[in-house]
Homo-oligomer: A and B are copies of this chain.
Amino acid sequence: MYITVLGSAAGGGYPQWNCNHPNSRRARAKDVAAPMRTQSSLAVSCDGERWTLFNASPDLRQQINDNPILHPHGGLRASPLKAVVLTNADVDHVTGLLSLRESQAFNVYATARVQLVLAQNSIFNVLNPQYVARISMSLEQSLAVSTADGAALGFEVVPFAVPGKVALWLEDASKGDNFGSVAEDTIALEVRESGRIKFFYIPACARMTPALAARIQGAPLVFFDGTLYTDDEMVRDGVGHKTGQRMGHMSVSGAEGTVAALSHLQISRKIFIHINTTNPILIAGTPERQAVESSGWEVSFDGMRLEV
């Protein structure tokens, strides 16, 4: 399978529009150690010709322009993009659908809960239902991803729940500490080809559980939530009032963090994705970047290409 990282940043991208954190200033100043990043999304393909998006970021139009694999060919109106798989209804994961106008055939896969949210927001009707099928995925059920005309794209996804929280814009403060979140609100994807696990895509995860650790043990490749380096860095740096835990993200560092939690698992490649503007691993040469790299992790970047 071929994988291209279309975007490696968390919601808002790097730099975020209203963020004047030193990290963001370095990106705007075109510092080569701090390249700009669009919002997190993968393009996945078994044949290198027909591609599936994992999440549709608000930066999708720019991501398509920047990645020739997604340029149209073979017709006056055409696209190699054949399917989109959504892991939740976050603005940074669904807004790109609005850039996939109008009469191009592809499938949109999401849990029933996320499909309901899309149905309740009529703006997504810009996706012409004559061309775009919306297909519900069920947790723990393997799904063969296909083109709109039913041709198999050669791989299966198994959606599974991970600890997390409902999308910010769907939070219900009346429902207590978890804002009305249910299991389907934050899912990850196990990706299989010919029945064999190829990789995991886990762009949001609030904590490691024994079940999740057991599941990803032995995997050839894991993309994992790299939002924050430390739980309170947004508060500490004065750019926000929310901790990682409040936002549904475990941190990279610390005794309960991702590097520690995955250190005893046998995983061939471990790659951080969905990285927030405040996270020092964004920037080449920082002690934090060096720490994660010396722990066997990679930091994804826009345009990163992998084969598994």
A65 at the interface (CB under 8 A from B): yes
B residues near A100, Cβ cutoff 8 Å:
17-18
| Smallest beta-carbon distance A215→chain B, Å | 31
Q: Is the CB of A19 within 8 A of B59?
A: no
Q: Is the CB of B121 within 8 A of A71?
A: no
A238 at the interface (CB under 8 A from B): yes
Q: Is the CB of B77 within 8 A of A240?
A: yes
**Closest chain B residue to A78 by CB distance?**
B20
Q: Is the CB of B122 within 8 A of A79?
A: no
| Complex: A227 Cα to B128 Cα, angstroms | 21
Q: Give A71-120 interface residues, CB cut-off 8 Å to B.
A: 71-79, 81, 91, 94-95, 98-104, 117, 120
A36 at the interface (CB under 8 A from B): yes
Contact of A58 among B71, B99, B103 (CB under 8 A): B99
Interface size class of A (residues with CB under 8 A): 35 or more
Q: Count this chain's copies in the assembly.
A: 2
Query: Which candidate, A7-15, A143-151, A153-161, A258-266, is the interface stretch facing chain B?
Result: A7-15
A141 at the interface (CB under 8 A from B): no
Q: Is the CB of B123 within 8 A of A17?
A: no
Q: Is the CB of B19 within 8 A of A76?
A: yes
| Complex: A165 Cα to B20 Cα, angstroms | 40
| Complex: A121 Cα to B120 Cα, angstroms | 7
A152 at the interface (CB under 8 A from B): no
A306 at the interface (CB under 8 A from B): no
| Complex: A33 Cα to B7 Cα, angstroms | 29
A207 at the interface (CB under 8 A from B): no
Q: Is the CB of B126 within 8 A of A123?
A: no
B residues near A21, Cβ cutoff 8 Å:
76
Q: Please name 24 pairs of A and B residues whose Cβ atoms are closer than 8 Å in the assembled complex, sorted by A.
A: A11-B101, A17-B60, A17-B64, A18-B72, A18-B77, A18-B78, A20-B78, A28-B71, A36-B65, A58-B58, A58-B99, A62-B62, A76-B238, A77-B239, A91-B98, A95-B123, A101-B168, A117-B122, A120-B122, A121-B123, A123-B123, A124-B169, A125-B170, A126-B168
New contact pairs (16) apart from A12-B99, A58-B61, A94-B123, CB-CB < 8 Å: A11-B101, A13-B61, A17-B61, A18-B104, A19-B72, A19-B77, A20-B74, A20-B76, A20-B77, A28-B65, A28-B68, A59-B61, A77-B240, A121-B123, A123-B123, A125-B170
